[in-house]
Structure 1
Amino acid sequence: MSLTGSLPLDLPPPDPRQRLRARGAAANPAGRFEPYARLVESDGWEIAEEEKLLRTELCVERPKSIITRNTSPDVPFDRSVNPYRGCEHGCIYCYARPTHGYLGLSAGLDFETKIIARPEAPELLARELSKKGYACAPIAIGTATDPYQPAEAAQGIVRGLLQVLSDFNHPVCLTTRGAGVMRDMDLLADMAARNLVHLGVSLTTLDEDLARKMEPRAPSPQTRLRMIRAAARAGVPVRVMAAPIIPGLTDHALEAILTEARRAGARAAEMIALRLPNEVAPLFADWLARHYPLRAEKVLGAIAAFRSGKLNDPRFGSRMEGEGTEAELLARRFEVSCRRLSLARYLPPLDVTRFAVPPRPGEQLELF
């Protein structure tokens, strides 16, 4: 049976009034919590409407708290901060796309064109870190949407968060594929000298053409290698993240990705198999049908071979790596490459002993 035939691929057709430029999704299906879906239908009047370029919209959210807690056994952190919701990079495979459903928005074009910024995040973070009884542990930034997406150039929220963490001597694990991280390399270098920061750089492919189609507004693979070089020169410990590895599409390049990252200065490596939760599966299948129609069935079949015949398996323990013969072979290749390249699986632990709430202006400093 065709995998594409078994998917809920009743995505709405592209809006003919919209012109898309460098977008991952082509459709804007209703969120899974929405009772109604909207379709653009001809009214019978054959009057050509002006086609308008779909542009990115930036909205502001003012949450009451900024640290998110989790108890997932699949991730090595229990707290994170996300300065943005949605991501203009438009990576078609992004597992965070369904989070826009909680806002009444679509995981499709809405996710990459309706970006929500949290400009007060640094102040909120400082307030939460100052609470009595706060127990220090590394904070992860970039676990959902990319903190260095294009909006950050003007907003500067991540810079503010890093400054707060530096002032508190608080460790942070930063994950990105955005070139904006090079703007903050001075601050990251200073934190690295105190063993307070790890940087993870996502490198999905070395194929420039594939990257433009799959991650349309993210920096090119060569730019990401330059990011790794810049961080390594600044003394910032870097972990290359071959994530996600897409069976049948990018898995053949695993060794090349790790090799180039090691040459650029990465010290450790991580690999995560493609996840297609909720609305992401039909969006990804639609993208394959548009860009690689002759390979679509093969790629979907290869993904299903990692997931017990399904396109997604949300179970803890298997969702990041997959299971079965193909998943085991890929894991073995990863282990052999890391050993050959002297890439560690994990970066050394960050220092949590330096954490201290800095004195407010006018407060008496401690004598000892």
Structure 2
Amino acid sequence: MPSSQSPVFTLADFDYHLPGELIAQHPAAERRGSRLLHLDGKSQLHDLQFPDLAALVREHDLLVFNDTRVIKARLPGQKATGGKVEVLVERIVEPTRALAHVRASKSPGPGTTLRLAGAFDVQVLGRQGELFDLSFPEPVLDLLDAHGATPLPPYITHSAQTDDDSRYQTVYARQPGAVAAPTAGLHFDQAMLDQLASQGVRRAFVTLHVGAGTFQPVRVDNLADHIMHSEWYTVPQATVDAIAQTRAKGGRVIAVGTTSVRALESAAAASAAAATTAAAKPGQLLAAEQGDTRLFITPGYQYRVVDALLTNFHLPQSTLLMLVSALAGIEPIRRAYAHAVANKYRFFSYGDAMFIEPPAVKS
């Protein structure tokens, strides 16, 4: 298995200056209304519009989307003593049980009852690391749909509004469980998906339930010491088959978003680990997989599945900036981000997109 960490790199290698006014606070008027920065295989930059993606993909290419659905995971509440709390559901582990972040002046202990949204009570069962184990009186998803709010990223300054409920969700979202959107997919409307299909570009799906850890900064200078957050993923057999067919026809596997990258590459790593077992098929590089992943991709990582990537722009010193640097190279990404800042691209979840084709391998 290729190493996904390297002690050579430090946080300073993945830093850049971003003026606050370039952080997009609202989506574009139309889903496809964003700009697109193309970093090609010769590490050259091209300023485009998102619909121009149709000219960059080819017949027999495969777009792999993350079909996770953002849940209304944020709930205000209070303790029996009257103290205010805020709950952010991170993962639903049983129909009436979830792991959650709880913000409070004093952490609630086991047995504590919390009144949420002024509508129902949950009981604190205990803790699992930084997360609180909560018991709900009814199915968690039903209560979140009725009383929760869409959990916008911490750099978006307004509270979730009706428009956010729809625009902070991809048009193909179908598997509820994420607390952050796979934002590269927000640019697609159904008309764009239909146009690409008419060109012979195929699509397949993975699921990775994006957790709040995606916004957590790296807190160590030596990246080899970083502990990656865990996220649940699945790569179904239909997607494995689609990738095999794409390879056979000479097409590219294009990940839509870094979450699709993590799902595909995690499945490939799991498949490689199982390759020596009797159950492994000869020559099989990717099998259907599901489970938790802590895959941390930094430069030096050898991609097994992904040939190109559509993504948004990522936070300074973030694991996702490291992931895209592993695909395109540190220097090309530095130039691309400097270009994006100078040309006032819109950054992060509601911002513009970037299509990355890694440098061609020199023979």
More strand by share: 2
More helix by share: 1
- Would you say same fold, with TM above 0.5? no
Structure having greater relative contact order (Cα 8 Å, sep ≥ 6): 2
Query: How high is the TM-score relative to the length of structure 2?
Result: 0.28
